[in-house]
Structure formats: structure tokens, C-alpha cells
């Protein structure tokens, strides 16, 4: 068995199963905390799954945020998912342990997803899927309930993309050198003159999607009509274009639900101010 039927009502279709001993465990304390005995890793199972997040709003021509930040913070989706699903599983299979993770995970999620057949690793270090390209978040349910591992584990030579190089060719960091634009938008404190100029040349005030936009997987997923998510959470309360006025209008509770909230208002206010001053100069 697997847990796919439990995930499908939440709009999650792309899933796979592998044993914990087939995963790279880099935060074992999270598993210990959940009650798992790592000496029995071959009897512990990982149901890993992809959560698509791209919406048509995230393709708006005036968008100035990374696509993942157009909707509310994806961590809130996973919190809601696990708050609803894990108690149900623990009731139905009361002799077994269940724990849910996303992002802050005990395992190397991308490697596990590749091994479970969800996709391949891209040159941009993202998971590339045929259905959604790289516009996905990864989550996993770990359990000692016996599950059936996904049979088609990719051989080593098929774990990576075809390395067309489109992502590297389009990446400003590769052509200009210096810090990743996404990291630069999240940097606290005062920026150097060069960093300010780099942000002013950049359309986004938070994050960067360039490598995703130019990837052939993205073009193919768009052509198939599968790239957009059907999950209602990501279609609600979208903000594709942020301004200083809008930032000031958002109350603290609503702001705390945005993906950029962890850095505080001042970081993104600074980025917006840089773009505003650039427009005045132009």
C-alpha cells in the first residue's frame, strides 16, 4: 500500500515511496523526536510528494516577486495538511507512527524525490518534474506502517537533467559574477553600491525565477497544460505585484502569512525603495 489516496483529495498527485535506509538522513534528531528507531531504518518508509504551487497570477506581466511568494507562505499549507491528515492516519493505524515534514526535513528531499521517481535533479539544483517543471514544494510523511516502495528507481546516469545549460546561460550570477540575485533580495542590512545597482537591474524585489523560466521542462509542462496547481490554497490571497503602499496597508497578521515575512518588512521595503528610486531616475 501507499498513502497516495490520502493525499489526492488535497490536490497532490505526484508521489513515491522508498525506505528510510535508502535516503540520506542529515537531521536524525527530527526522527528521534518523532519516536522512530533509526536502527530499524529498513522498516521505516518515506512517502515523498510534490506540491505544485504555480498559478496564473504568478505569470502576471507586472509580477515583481518570485512565483513561490505570490501566494501565501507554503509552510502554512503543509501545517494545515499535516494537522488534518496525520491525526486521521494515527486513528486508522493506531499501532504505527506518522510524522510529516517539509523544508525542515530529516532527509535530503531532492535526492529522495529523484530516487522515488518524481523527477530529476537540474543544473540549477532544483527538482525537475515532467508535470510541473520545478514549480513544486516537496513534503514527506514518514511512518513505520509498511508501504510498498516505488519500483522504478532511476539508475545513476538518469538522475540528472540533460544539462542543456539554458539555466546557467540565463543566470545573472553566471554572467555578472557576485552574489545570487535571490540571496541578494533577502540580505539584511545596508547593501553596497554595487549590490544596490544589481537589484535595480533586476525585475524582482524578492527571489529569482530566471533559471526556472528558461528551463525546457517549464516549456514542456506549459505545452501539456499541467504546470498550474489545482490546490485552492495557492489561488487565494495572491499578491503578484508588491508596492510600498500595499506593503504599508498589510496588517501584521496578514504580513506574517507571506513567504518574505521571515526577513521582516524593512528588507523588502528597502528593495521596493531601490526600484522606486530607479524609476524616478529613469
Q: 245-276: per-residue pLDDT in tens? A: 999 999 999 999 999 999 999 999 999 999 87
Question: Is residue 44 domain-shared with residue 176, that is, in the same domain?
Answer: no
Task: Name the domain boundary from 105, 137, 158.
Answer: 158
Question: Is residue 133 domain-shared with residue 187, that is, in the same domain?
Answer: no
What's the rounded Cα separation, in Å, for the pair 184 and 115? 32
> Average pLDDT of 13-28?
96
Question: Is residue 151 domain-shared with residue 201, that is, in the same domain?
Answer: no
Question: Is residue 78 domain-shared with residue 116, that is, in the same domain?
Answer: yes
- Which of residues 198 and 215 earns the better pLDDT score? 215
Question: Is residue 172 domain-shared with residue 272, that is, in the same domain?
Answer: yes
When divided into structural domains, the chain yields a total of 2
Task: Tell me which residue range forms the domain holding 124.
Answer: 4-60+68-158
- What's the predicted TM-score (pTM) here? 0.93
| pLDDT at residue 159, as a whole number | 85
State the SS3 of the chain.
CCCHHHHHHHCCCEEEEEEHHHCCECCHHHHHHCCCCHHHHHHCEEEEEEEECCCHHHHCCCCCECHHHCCECHHHHHHHHHHHHHHHHHHHCCCCCEEEEECCCCECHHHHHHHCCCCEECCCCCEEECCCECCEEEEEEEECCCCCCCCCCCCHHHCECCCCCHHHHHCHHHHHCCCCHHHHHCCCCCCCHHHHHHHHCCCCCECCCHHHHCCHHHHHHHHHCCCCCCCHHHHCCCCCCCCHHHHHHCCHHHHCCECCHHHCHHHHHHHHHHHHHHHHHC
Model confidence at 156: pLDDT above 60: yes
| pLDDT at residue 89, as a whole number | 98
- Which of residues 145 and 201 earns the better pLDDT score? 145
Task: Provide the 10 A C-beta neighbour count for residue 233.
Answer: 19
Question: Is residue 239 domain-shared with residue 103, that is, in the same domain?
Answer: no
Q: Which of 12-16, 58-62, 95-99 has the lowest mean pLDDT?
A: 58-62
Question: Is residue 45 domain-shared with residue 143, that is, in the same domain?
Answer: yes
> Average pLDDT of 153-181?
81
β-pair partners for 17? 47
Question: Is residue 27 domain-shared with residue 151, that is, in the same domain?
Answer: yes
Question: Is residue 136 domain-shared with residue 240, that is, in the same domain?
Answer: no
Q: 98-113: per-residue pLDDT in tens? A: 999 999 999 999 999 9
Task: Name the domain boundary from 101, 127, 158.
Answer: 158
Give the percent of the chain with pLDDT over 70. 95
pLDDT band for position 223 (50/70/90)?
very high
Q: What cell was used for 177?
A: 559574477
Amino acid at each position: 500500500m501507499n498513502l497516495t489516496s490520502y493525499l489526492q483529495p488535497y490536490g497532490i498527485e505526484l508521489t513515491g515511496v522508498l525506505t528510510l535506509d535508502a535516503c540520506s538522513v542529515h537531521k536524525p534528531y527530527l526522527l528521534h523526536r518523532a519516536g522512530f528507531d533509526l536502527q530499524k531504518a529498513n522498516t521505516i518508509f518515506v512517502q515523498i510528494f510534490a506540491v505544485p504551487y504555480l498559478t496564473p497570477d504568478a505569470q502576471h506581466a507586472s509580477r515583481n516577486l518570485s512565483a513561490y511568494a505570490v501566494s501565501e507562505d507554503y509552510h502554512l499549507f503543509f501545517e494545515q495538511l499535516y494537522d488534518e491528515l496525520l491525526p486521521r492516519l494515527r486513528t486508522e493505524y493506531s499501532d504505527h507512527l506518522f510524522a510529516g515534514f517539509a523544508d525542515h526535513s530529516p532527509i535530503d528531499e531532492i535526492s529522495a524525490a529523484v530516487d522515488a521517481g518524481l523527477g530529476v535533479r537540474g543544473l540549477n539544483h532544483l527538482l525537475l518534474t515532467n508535470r510541473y517543471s520545478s514549480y513544486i514544494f516537496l513534503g514527506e510523511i514518514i511512518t513505520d506502517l509498511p508501504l510498498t516502495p516505488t519500483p522504478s528507481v532511476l539508475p545513476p546516469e538518469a538522475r540528472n537533467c540533460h544539462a542543456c545549460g539554458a539555466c546557467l546561460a540565463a543566470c545573472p550570477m553566471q554572467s555578472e559574477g557576485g552574489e545570487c540575485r535571490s540571496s541578494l533580495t533577502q540580505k539584511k542590512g545596508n547593501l553596497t553600491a554595487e549590490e544596490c545597482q544589481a537589484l535595480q537591474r533586476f525585475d524582482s524585489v524578492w527571489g529569482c525565477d530566471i533559471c526556472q523560466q528558461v528551463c525546457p521542462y517549464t516549456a514542456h509542462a506549459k505545452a501539456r497544460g499541467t504546470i498550474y496547481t489545482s490546490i485552492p490554497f495557492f489561488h487565494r490571497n495572491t499578491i503578484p505585484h508588491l508596492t510600498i503602499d500595499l506593503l504599508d496597508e498589510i496588517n501584521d497578521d496578514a504580513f506574517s502569512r507571506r513567504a518574505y515575512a521571515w526577513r521582516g518588512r524593512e528588507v523588502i521595503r528597502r528593495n521596493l525603495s531601490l526600484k522606486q528610486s530607479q524609476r524616478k531616475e529613469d
